[in-house]
Amino acid sequence: MSDSITIKGVTSYHPTTPQIIDISKQNTLIFGLNGAGKSTISNFLYDREKFDSCSLNVEGSFTPIVYNQAFVEQHFVKSSMQEGVFTLSKDNADLEARIAEKSKLREKLLELYNGIKAKISEAETAQGKATDSAIEEVFKQKNIIEKTSLAPFLEGFKRPKSNFYKQVKSQKGVSQDSIESLQAEYDSLTQSDKALPTLIELPSPPSLSIEETTILSEPIVGSSSSQLTEFITELNNQNWVKNGKDSYLAEEQTKCPFCQKDTIDDTFRSELAALFDKTYDSNVQKVEAISKSYGDAVTNYITSIQAAFINCSLYDPNLHKVDPVIALLERVYQDNLDLIKSKIEKPSLSIEIIDYQEKSAPLMSISEEINAAVKVIIIKARKFKESKKDIQDRMWDSVRYHTESIFSLEKRLIDEKDSDIKQLNADLKRVKLVGQKVASRISYLRSKTSNIDDTIERININLKSLGLTSFEIVSSTDPEQQNYFVLSRGEKTNEGKEVFKSLSEGEKTLITFLYFIEKCNGSMSKDSDIADKEKLIVIDDPISSLSQNYIYDIASLTHTKIIKGNKFKKVIVLTHSLFFYQELLKLAPQGKDKKGNDRFNDKYSLYRLNKKQYTNVQPMNKGELKNDYQSLWQIIKDVIEGSANPVVLPNVMRNIIEYYFGFVHKRDKLSDILNELAEKEPEQGHKAFYRYINRSSHSDPTNIGLMVEVEPQAYLERFKSIFIESQDEEHYHCMMES
């Protein structure tokens, strides 16, 4: 940031919106009417500790030296003597040359010091940019997380961006979890917190009791008491006979199904019935019951398996391939059921069902996998807060892991600049050490040759050259104040504050300003020294309304002693006087330098303070400024347009009248016109206006007080009436561009 003054929240300045004045150029000239806010700026620079809401940003070391009303109060109004200003004795040319040589060396060292400081600042700025870039890149992860269910974990780290960056940077970066996997885990956890998943409990496979196994394994045969038993056993056709009995041996059936002769009689039926007695039928019925119960068991088994998986919230048909395994189990157990059914059809068969329990092994494996996850969730659900914190911690650590390249780049850039800064600080330390030695040497040499006598002589010579011979400054005769000045009229009883009080406003301005100039160019003690390049000179309104006669002298002193040569760090001049302002511009360098740069614009910044409700700082170009007389008329038009405070009208109008009537040689006539208009004026307040315009009475404070509440339009009407009475109305219209 360039050198600048920031003002807000004081006097006429906006409470929150700052006004910023760029003072990066060597000289800054600020024009503003009384009440526009100039004194606020100089008071801030005079004592910055009293202005918490304002700031001064200046690169390198600096010491403000301020001329304003506070300066005059401190050194003259409230003090009977002034601190002596030590300057080099004109009688010791050798020491002066050596001090000048050392001073040039000190300025070069100061320039070198500031250059190194600037490089350190550049390196630190580069480090800041590296960190800012890292913050921006890392913050992009926040936007990703914010779109997931993990967003609540960002609470407190969304803004500012640096908060998120610091939180991520503080992690170890060992978690490789993706945001997607953490989101899935968190979703599962939050879901389980509402309804815990159930464990998959697989049912026992269908099985037979020992009795049932025995029945199935033993053939069911007819009774041995029948005459047919031996024959049928020999033929091994019992099942065939049983089927024939059931199908063909109805009571009305008499014909043999094979020979078609009437061979089936009651005796045959009796023997056949004896063959298949109640025991036989009972055993067959047991097999039928086994078939039904086993079939039901298989159906329940398959249904229970399917329900066990479906009822578990962690079961995913696409992930856990259980349907093919269940289908296989259902098929093999159906094979067993088919075997049992075959014995119903052929009771004499001896069957043994197959144990297919190993076929359920894949289901067991899948269920164990799911159950392991269920158990983890159940455990975590029991410790929900701890589990949630674990996911949150791993989320931050994951972000750190996946942004490692960003932090690595930032560290590399910062480390590179750290190396540069370390070397620059070492250089700075050496330059500072040499500078301290040079400053110490200058102080020593000054102590041998510095005194306040030459300062006294210069001030008195300047007073005489300005025509002021009724007073002078002399050394204090007080033994305890040997290095102090006092004002004197040549009488011991009339010194110090009493003399100052007796001076005119113009004389007060000159003596205080001459003292200030010496203070800028000298030092306040014999053995201390502040380099000129560290002095920030501030001059606030050295021209009062009652010291107009010295405008050119004070402007010349300001230019030659303060501005010319660019020997100070900065120069800031504030004034309400257009004439003083214009005179400084006339004395400023014109044209181009050897490099083709505009000599004025290269060294000068111009500003104007306007005040309506609040003070507004406006930059200006040199070409925007009109001559003194035109500028006064412009102020009147500014008041009409509402961009200037009407309180300035009487003073501005008085200056216009004095300039114009003095130029056209009508001063005597002007006085008569003003007196005549005042006599005709019925309003006392308006009478005061004419008396104020009249130069001979403008110092009367009563007049000023009476005009406070007068409307601007009343001023304008009476101002115009002066030109009408003097038959110069055409000039009025010309200047007002009406």
Residues 181 and 154 in one domain: yes
Residue 167, in any domain of the structure? yes
Virtual torsion, Cα 715, 720, 726, 728, nearest 10 deg: 150
Alpha-carbon gap, residue 293 to 635, rounded angstroms: 115
Residue 528 pLDDT exceeds 70: no
| Domain limits for position 248 | 223-276
Mean pLDDT of the chain: 78
| 149 CA to centre of own chain | 27
- Last residue within a domain, chosen from 415, 431, 446: 446
The mean pLDDT value for 126-139 works out to 86
Of the given ranges (7-16, 231-240, 390-399), which has the lowest mean pLDDT?
231-240
Residues 610 and 646 in one domain: no
What predicted TM-score, i.e. pTM, was given to this entire model? 0.49
| Omega within 30 of 0 (cis) for the link into 650 | no
Residues 557 and 609 in one domain: yes
State the pLDDT confidence band at 7, using cuts at 50, 70 and 90. Answer: very high
Alpha-carbon gap, residue 69 to 509, rounded angstroms: 10
Residues 599 and 674 in one domain: no
360-389 burial, b at 16+ Cβ within 10 Å, e below that, comes to: bebbeebbeebbeebebbeebbeeeeebbe
Alpha-carbon gap, residue 90 to 404, rounded angstroms: 69
Maximum average pLDDT range among 257-271, 329-343, 412-426, 611-625: 412-426
Check residue 697 and give its pLDDT: 42
Residue 412, in any domain of the structure? yes
Alpha-carbon gap, residue 365 to 355, rounded angstroms: 19
Residue 556, in any domain of the structure? yes
Q: Provide the percentage of residues in the chain whose pLDDT is more than 70.
A: 79
Instruction: Give the C-alpha distances (Å, rounded to integers) separating 15 from 39, 80, 326, 355, 619.
Output: 17, 39, 80, 93, 21
State the pLDDT confidence band at 562, using cuts at 50, 70 and 90. Answer: very high
Question: How many CB atoms within 10 Å of residue 139?
Answer: 19
Virtual torsion, Cα 66, 72, 76, 77, nearest 10 deg: -150
- Last residue within a domain, chosen from 621, 642, 665: 621
- How many structural domains compose the chain? 4
Q: With CA atoms as reference, report the closest residue to 540 among 67, 72, 76.
A: 67
DSSP state of 697: G
The mean pLDDT value for 343-358 works out to 80
State the pLDDT confidence band at 78, using cuts at 50, 70 and 90. Answer: confident
The mean pLDDT value for 132-142 works out to 85
Alpha-carbon gap, residue 300 to 330, rounded angstroms: 11
Q: Are 113 and 431 in contact, with CB atoms under 8 Å apart?
A: yes
Question: How many CB atoms within 10 Å of residue 358?
Answer: 9
The tens digit of pLDDT for each residue in 258-293 reads 666 666 666 666 655 554 556 677 787 888 888 888
Q: With CA atoms as reference, report the closest residue to 698 among 653, 730, 666.
A: 653
Check residue 13 and give its pLDDT: 94
Residues 638 and 731 in one domain: yes
Residues 733 and 652 in one domain: yes
Check residue 661 and give its pLDDT: 79
Alpha-carbon gap, residue 399 to 170, rounded angstroms: 11
CATH number at residue 593: 3.40.50.300
Rounded to the nearest 5 degrees, what angle is found at the Cα of 563, between the Cα atoms of 93 and 525?
50
Residue 578, in any domain of the structure? yes
Phi, psi at 443, each rounded to 5°: -60, -40
Residue 347 pLDDT exceeds 50: yes
Of 553 and 485, the one with more pLDDT: 553
Check residue 68 and give its pLDDT: 92
Residues 389 and 441 in one domain: yes
Helix, strand or coil, per DSSP, at residue 470 = coil
218 Cβ partners below 8 Å, 6+ apart? 350
State the pLDDT confidence band at 699, using cuts at 50, 70 and 90. Answer: very low
Residue 702 pLDDT exceeds 50: no
Residue 18 pLDDT exceeds 90: yes
Alpha-carbon gap, residue 577 to 549, rounded angstroms: 12
Residues 45 and 127 in one domain: no
Contacts from 728-732 at CB under 8 Å and sequence distance 24+? 728/660, 728/664, 731/660
Q: Find the DSSP H helices in 450-504.
A: 453-465, 497-502
The tens digit of pLDDT for each residue in 246-256 reads 555 555 666 66
The tens digit of pLDDT for each residue in 726-738 reads 888 888 888 887 5
Residue 448 pLDDT exceeds 60: no
Residue 242, in any domain of the structure? yes
Alpha-carbon gap, residue 460 to 518, rounded angstroms: 12
Residue 112, in any domain of the structure? yes
- Last residue within a domain, chosen from 446, 479, 499: 446
Residues 145 and 236 in one domain: no
- Residue in this structure with the two tokens 């920031």, named with its chain if needed: 6
The mean pLDDT value for 136-157 works out to 81
Q: With CA atoms as reference, report the closest residue to 132 among 403, 399, 410, 396.
A: 410
| DSSP letters for 95-147 | HHHHHHHHHHHHHHHHHHHHHHHHHHHHHHHHHHHHHHHHHHHHHHHHHHHHT
Residues 617 and 646 in one domain: no
Residues 132 and 171 in one domain: yes
DSSP state of 596: S
Residues 722 and 667 in one domain: yes
Residue 261, in any domain of the structure? yes
Residue 702, in any domain of the structure? yes
